Amino acid sequence: MPRTQQSCRERALFSMANVMHLIVLLLYCNGMNTETTPSPESEPVITTKKAESKGQSQVIIEELAILTPQYIELLCNLTDIPNNPLYITGYWTKDGQEIENSEETVNRNNEQYILKRTFSIEARDLGNYSCVFRENEAQVTFVLDVPVMKEKRDKPVVSYIGDSVVLECKLKYTPNTWNWYKANNTEKVLINVTANPLNYKILINGNKTKLTVLNLTEEDSGKYICSAEFDIKPSESYVELKVMSYTEPLKPFMAIVVEVIVLVTLILLWEKCNKPQHNSSAGGNDIYSEQTNKLTHDDSNGVENNMTRHRKLEH
Q: Which residues of 224-237 are buried (b: 16+ CB within 10 A; e: fewer)?
A: bbbbbebebbbbbb
Q: Which residues of 274-304 are buried (b: 16+ CB within 10 A; e: fewer)?
A: eeeeeeeeeeeeeeeeeeeeeeeeeeeeeee
pTM for the model stands at 0.61
* 256 compared with 168, residue with greater pLDDT: 168
- Residues 217-246 have pLDDT tens digits of 999 999 999 999 999 999 999 999 999 886
Q: List, in sequence order, the alpha helices (H) in 36-133.
A: none
Q: What is the C-alpha to C-alpha distance for residues 89 and 78, in angstroms, rounded to an integer?
A: 12
- Residues 259-274 have pLDDT tens digits of 888 888 888 888 888 8
What pLDDT is recorded for position 69?
93
- Give the residue-averaged pLDDT of 272-281: 63
What pLDDT is recorded for position 37?
32
Instruction: Confirm if 232 and 69 have CB atoms less than 8 A apart.
Output: yes
Question: Does residue 175 have a pLDDT over 70?
Answer: yes
Model confidence at 170, pLDDT cuts 50, 70, 90, reads very high
Choose from 19-33, 130-144, 180-194, 244-258 the range with maximum mean pLDDT.
180-194
Average pLDDT value for the chain: 75
Q: Which of 144-158, 171-185, 212-226, 266-280 has the lowest mean pLDDT?
A: 266-280
Model confidence at 157, pLDDT cuts 50, 70, 90, reads very high
- Give the residue-averaged pLDDT of 2-26: 40
Model confidence at 286, pLDDT cuts 50, 70, 90, reads low
Question: What share of residues in the chain are helix, strand, coil (percent, to 5)?
Answer: 35, 40, 30
Half-sphere exposure of 4 (CA within 13 A, CB side): 0
